[in-house]
């Protein structure tokens, strides 16, 4: 099991990136760089590539709407070059709130769009001309923004570091997860409950795995949460710091009926809580919404408590299929936490 750190996209990214250098020396295997609607991910990933030597650098995630397949190919190839073959391309459909509300792009056909982007990027890395017969009209014709007579298919000008870069998909909906298990290298679920994951995604993962594309290895699963190792109520109280994040996603990431995270909460069995959290959050009562996040969920999705308990949580994630443990150290010594976790996961 690998250890990864999701790099937060708020605050000062330079300070967060500088921390990665110390964590790399402590044994960190991978860093995920989020984007959402803050700073762009590729700029920070390039900065990290220059400051680190061994840690894998992945986007988590780049949405498949605001950049063309060609631009995503360029990002994957460029990052893989400057990092010396350490790139991971994390993609996802995101949601209407970001895609339409920030980028001004229609949120249409997310499953088909994601599949086609993955196919184009993979073929592009092998220096095949970019052509598509699906949602993307490549080469472009006049009615799709191109100029008639100049639509000759092109291949990437430069030679990529590798002709394959791992592609991970952030997915929550059953059909999206099924597709991910079919054609992606990895899956990035959010707010992951190890003991209940099979109830939500078991059938989808099995269906996708049965159709898994030839040549792909086993599906990697990257999930986890906050880590705090210690005895007593003060350590357990740190779980409350996760409440705002859970409430934000379950309550505020989309309107009623259009919030994927709220759907997941309901699928976990927290129907009543999900309904109330969303009602409160959308009416501006964020603190009240945070208080209703089930403690059981917080305890399961994070690794907070005595060393023996944290080791039990690691095994729970491993048994559920997680191969890369995403961790956010909540301690005065993040590097020490990473070193300890590395001993336990090996």
For position 254, what pLDDT does the model report?
Answer: 84
In the chain, CATH 3.20.20.30 covers 2-227+303-345
For position 52, what pLDDT does the model report?
Answer: 96
For position 140, what pLDDT does the model report?
Answer: 64
For position 14, what pLDDT does the model report?
Answer: 83
CATH T-level fold of 2-227+303-345: TIM Barrel (3.20.20)
For position 141, what pLDDT does the model report?
Answer: 60
Q: Are 260 and 254 in contact (CB under 8 A)?
A: yes
For position 142, what pLDDT does the model report?
Answer: 53
The CA dihedral of 213, 215, 217, 220, to the nearest 10 degrees, is: -50
Q: Are 210 and 191 in contact (CB under 8 A)?
A: no
The ranges of the chain with pLDDT < 50 are 144-148
Q: How far apart are CA 345 and CA 29, in angstroms?
A: 12
For position 232, what pLDDT does the model report?
Answer: 87
């Amino acid at each position: 099991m690998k250890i990864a750190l999701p790099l937060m996209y708020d605050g000062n990214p330079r300070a967060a990136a500088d921390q990665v250098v110390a964590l790399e020396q402590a044994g960190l295997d991978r860093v995920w760089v989020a984007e959402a609607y803050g700073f762009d991910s590729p700029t920070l990933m390039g900065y990290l590539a220059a400051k680190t030597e061994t840690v894998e650098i992945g986007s988590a995630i780049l949405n498949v709407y605001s950049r063309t397949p060609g631009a995503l190919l360029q990002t994957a190839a460029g990052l893989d070059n400057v990092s010396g073959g350490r790139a991971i391309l994390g993609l996802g459909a995101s949601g209407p709130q970001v895609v339409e509300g920030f980028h001004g792009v229609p949120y249409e056909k997310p499953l088909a769009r994601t599949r086609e982007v993955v196919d184009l990027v993979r073929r592009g890395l092998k220096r095949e001309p970019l052509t598509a017969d699906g949602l993307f009209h490549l080469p472009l014709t006049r009615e799709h923004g191109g100029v008639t007579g100049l639509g000759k298919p092109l291949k990437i000008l430069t030679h990529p570091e590798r002709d394959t870069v791992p592609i991970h998909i952030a997915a929550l909906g059953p059909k999206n997860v099924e597709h991910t298990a079919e054609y992606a290298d990895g899956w990035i679920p959010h707010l992951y409950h190890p003991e209940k994951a099979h109830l939500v995604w078991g059938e989808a993962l099995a269906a996708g795995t049965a159709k898994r594309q030839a040549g792909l290895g086993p599906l990697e699963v990257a999930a986890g949460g906050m880590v705090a190792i210690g005895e007593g109520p003060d350590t357990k109280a740190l779980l409350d710091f996760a409440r705002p994040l859970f409430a934000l996603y379950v309550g505020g990431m989309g309107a009623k009926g259009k919030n994927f995270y709220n759907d997941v909460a309901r699928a976990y069995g927290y129907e009543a809580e999900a309904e109330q959290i969303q009602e409160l959050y959308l009416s501006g009562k964020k603190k009240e919404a945070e208080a209703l996040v089930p403690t059981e969920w917080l305890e399961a999705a994070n690794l907070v408590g005595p060393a023996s308990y944290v080791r039990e949580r690691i095994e729970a994630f491993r048994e559920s299929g997680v191969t890369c443990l995403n961790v956010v150290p909540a301690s005065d010594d993040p590097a020490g936490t990473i070193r300890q976790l590395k001993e336990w996961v090996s």
